[in-house]
Structure 1
């Protein structure tokens, strides 16, 4: 998960309100349900020590969802009487809506709820052109169409010269159309930054278009066997998107396992466990955090100062670094703050659970390091 969108959360000190709202269950009176949720979340924040202005800002923001309901939910991060960030969720928060108040934004759940949500372009291809759909957890929308040359597009039987000449025209028309479709699909991917390209159509037509795509897109292509004219069902697309997520996590776990082994100079390119991760964060060498959200180390207490690299496994260690003000917080949230500050990424391993310690970081927290 690219964490760049979280930067606004670390431009000001806490404490922070972190609220996850579940909007996945349809109700006859959505406005009333949101009103009740807004009051409950504000009350919960107040009981945890949040100031009245921040409670009010969160309550008002939740009530505003009645004008633009989300299919799964929304997260709200607020401080000082204002909501600073409100990302949409790709899946509902487990256990329903909840609110927390603490020194750092509670961003760990975002890795599962808004993290690996691949955007897919579904391209319905035939010899006359193609229709594109954009699919994600937030729904679907049309993403354009390509209309190629319309004549001739079907071959003729027989073997005399005129029929062979006609067949050549057919092939030329289809090759032209395949190139047009590939160009348009490439542009659509650039504009939408889609992670996955799902090709639907006859086998030859899919292959012709795929072969004309830029090399950089080849690994993003998945071919579906449905014929043109039948739209993929939501469950078909969700299965392909889930497989893409699992493949990506497997690839990153493979990198992590390989980086565990020391090089010729005895240095490892990966670390695991809170003390080693804290040291790597302070040295600004995190490339990608790997997190099992429910594992023991994710919940472990660490100590933080005002700056992202003021981080320690023990409070006395932070004082030794010269930090006079310190707060305790969860290890995953503290490490994510450090990752954001140094433009590192983070990945939840939950979609491929259960994992053994041989497959995943010991304790549930690990990182691939930047080369030094």
Structure 2
């Protein structure tokens, strides 16, 4: 999972106000319930010293509906000057919360990104397609456009005879040319905008023609979702459920691909490490391709919640002790930071991704690991845990 969207939080002025809110407003009282939850959080933030101008901006922002049906949450982060980040969560938090402090609370925002996918929905018929973009914020798509072919001989006739066969050939040729027009536009836009997934639905014949006509880059991202159409009368609720299922399956595949590589590389003692100290060491050197955080069991706390690290001004300036931070030549005034915040901050600073590992999915010392871009003789090497209880005993070996 990419973390580019968190970059606007780096280097911003404190204090940071983070709101984690149940934004569900399905029934008649839903909007009032959201506002009541926010008002309670605002009173808490006022006591904690959040800037009044920021709270007023949050008031205005949180009055606006997300446009997302069903239960969902929302995470908003503001710095001293105003709102910097606003994302929808596919699941509402068990309890709405808000904090104001020297650093943003990044895990809820990062967890939201793990549940969201930037995708393009393509609804095709034999004349063209409607393209709907979602940018991975969790909201319904925000960009919609149409692509129309210019071949308009679209309907076959049932009668026989040479003239009719010629007409049928012209019709099929029109379908193919229109599909090629749609495919060419998909190839161009996917290359420019780089969605994680392309969902294709609509007329069965048009879907097949477009699938055959797109280039390999689009084909690699393509998932067919039945039940959609450009025409009226579609069971939109049933189709939306299929879209959500396709997105959930994609997220699961994305997560498992990273975790499978982590297991393999850790087992080989090569491009993977685990334990807080070793992950900090490889983050300092910019070696991390993907940071792996272990999710706690329901009701349990994050393993990293027990830990803090020392940081300097730069995102890669982090260490497990003040002395180690001085050794790497950190700039600015050294300060302590929650380990999870510092690790995510460092991952963003080196364009690494982030994957959440479900409880029991992989063995992680201290609840954290990393898949590396490269390794050398000075990279920490891990012994491999063979049982769940071994995670606490993982240590470096020569």
* 2:370 aligned partner: 367
Note if 1:62 corresponds to 2:58: yes
Q: Do the aligned residues in 2 keep the contact of 1:20 with 1:75 (CA within 8 Å)?
A: yes
TM-score, scaled to structure 2: 0.77
Distance 1:85 1:44, change over 3 A: same
The DSSP-based 3-state class of the residue aligned with 1:89 is: strand
Distance 1:296 1:145, change over 3 A: closer
* 2:395 aligned partner: none
* 1:347 aligned partner: 355
Matches of residues 85-124 of structure 1 in structure 2 within 5 Å? 85-124=84-123
Which stretch shows the higher mean deviation, 121-130 or 242-251? Answer: 121-130
Question: Which string of whole-angstrom CA distances, capped at 9 and with x for unpartnered residues, describes residues 328-359 of structure 1?
Answer: 4332211011112222221233xxx34343xx
* 2:309 aligned partner: 303
The DSSP-based 3-state class of the residue aligned with 1:18 is: strand
Q: Do the aligned residues in 1 keep the contact of 2:289 with 2:372 (CA within 8 Å)?
A: yes
Long gaps (5+) in structure 2: 376-398
* 1:243 aligned partner: 249
Distance 1:65 1:303, change over 3 A: same
Which stretch shows the higher mean deviation, 248-257 or 302-311? Answer: 302-311
Cα drift, residue 218 of structure 1 = 0.8
Note if 1:22 corresponds to 2:28: no
Which stretch shows the higher mean deviation, 333-342 or 23-32? Answer: 23-32
Q: Distance in 2 between matches of 1:188 and 1:28?
A: 40
Matches of residues 170-185 of structure 1 in structure 2 within 5 Å? 170-185=171-186
Distance 1:211 1:56, change over 3 A: same
Matches of residues 216-295 of structure 1 in structure 2 within 5 Å? 216-226=217-227, 228=229, 229=231, 230=234, 232=236, 233-262=239-268, 268-294=270-296
Q: Distance in 2 between matches of 1:201 and 1:76?
A: 36
* 2:81 aligned partner: 82
Q: Distance in 2 between matches of 1:122 and 1:91?
A: 18
Which stretch shows the higher mean deviation, 191-200 or 108-117? Answer: 191-200
The DSSP-based 3-state class of the residue aligned with 1:87 is: strand
Q: Do the aligned residues in 1 keep the contact of 2:274 with 2:370 (CA within 8 Å)?
A: yes
Question: Which string of whole-angstrom CA distances, capped at 9 and with x for unpartnered residues, describes residues 195-218 of structure 1?
Answer: 322222344432211111121011
Cα drift, residue 32 of structure 1 = 6.2
Count of aligned pairs between the two proteins: 357
Q: Do the aligned residues in 2 keep the contact of 1:90 with 1:113 (CA within 8 Å)?
A: yes
Q: Distance in 2 between matches of 1:73 and 1:286?
A: 30
Question: Which string of whole-angstrom CA distances, capped at 9 and with x for unpartnered residues, describes residues 30-62 of structure 1?
Answer: 886566545433443455xx43xx342342122
Q: Do the aligned residues in 2 keep the contact of 1:153 with 1:173 (CA within 8 Å)?
A: no
* 2:132 aligned partner: 133
RMSD of aligned Cα (Å): 3.2
Q: Do the aligned residues in 2 keep the contact of 1:156 with 1:166 (CA within 8 Å)?
A: no
Cα drift, residue 29 of structure 1 = 7.1
Cα drift, residue 277 of structure 1 = 0.4
The DSSP-based 3-state class of the residue aligned with 2:99 is: strand
The DSSP-based 3-state class of the residue aligned with 1:86 is: strand
Q: Do the aligned residues in 1 keep the contact of 2:25 with 2:34 (CA within 8 Å)?
A: no
Q: Do the aligned residues in 2 keep the contact of 1:302 with 1:311 (CA within 8 Å)?
A: no
Question: Which string of whole-angstrom CA distances, capped at 9 and with x for unpartnered residues, describes residues 266-303 of structure 1?
Answer: x6111111111011111121111122343743323122
* 1:6 aligned partner: 6
Cα drift, residue 144 of structure 1 = 2.3
Q: Do the aligned residues in 1 keep the contact of 2:312 with 2:318 (CA within 8 Å)?
A: no
Q: Distance in 1 between matches of 2:75 and 2:222?
A: 32
Cα drift, residue 366 of structure 1 = 1.3
Q: Distance in 1 between matches of 2:131 and 2:180?
A: 15
Matches of residues 44-59 of structure 1 in structure 2 within 5 Å? 44-45=44-45, 47=47, 50-51=48-49, 54-59=50-55
* 1:312 aligned partner: 319
Q: Distance in 2 between matches of 1:255 and 1:101?
A: 37
Distance 1:370 1:317, change over 3 A: same
Q: Do the aligned residues in 1 keep the contact of 2:73 with 2:93 (CA within 8 Å)?
A: no
Q: Do the aligned residues in 1 keep the contact of 2:197 with 2:221 (CA within 8 Å)?
A: yes
Note if 1:330 corresponds to 2:338: yes
Cα drift, residue 86 of structure 1 = 2.7
